[in-house]
């Protein structure tokens, strides 16, 4: 899949009332390899700051225009979905947290 910026540009998602983002695998990593690499999914193994920044920026833009954004994070995005979501929330509030 193309990165979030390209997907958003092509689909014009930011014109609707709601955006749903599904944060899955890192580019170049297959599902089974990610599962083996990240199990037991209790820490961030491969932080993906670029994707985090892009999703956080999208969430901020949506909020600024009064629209909703829902983000679904998979354990195989960075290694632990709950920790990914905590870091994403911090990055939404403070863009410097994503850097």
Domain boundaries, the chain: 27-97
Q: What is the pLDDT of residue 26?
A: 83
Residue 98's pLDDT is 61
In order along the chain (99 residues), what is the average pLDDT of each group of 10 residues? 76 83 89 95 95 94 94 96 97 81
Per-residue model confidence (pLDDT) at position 91: 96
The pLDDT value given to residue 34:
94
Question: How is the chain classified by DSSP, letter by letter?
Answer: ---HHHHHHHHTGGGSSEEEEEE-PPTT--HHHHHHHHTT--S-SS--HHHHHHHHHHHHHHHHTT-EEEEEE-HHHHS-HHHHHHHHHHHHH-GGGT-
């Amino acid at each position: 899949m193309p990165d979030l910026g390209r997907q958003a540009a092509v689909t014009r998602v930011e014109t609707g009332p709601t955006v749903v983002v599904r944060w899955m695998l890192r580019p170049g990593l297959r599902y089974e390899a990610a599962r083996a690499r990240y199990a037991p999914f209790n820490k961030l193994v491969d932080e993906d700051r670029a994707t985090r920044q892009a999703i956080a920026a999208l969430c901020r833009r949506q909020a600024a225009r009064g629209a909703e954004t829902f983000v679904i994070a998979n354990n195989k995005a960075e290694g632990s979905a709950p920790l990914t979501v905590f870091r994403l929330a911090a990055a939404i509030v403070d863009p410097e947290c994503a850097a």
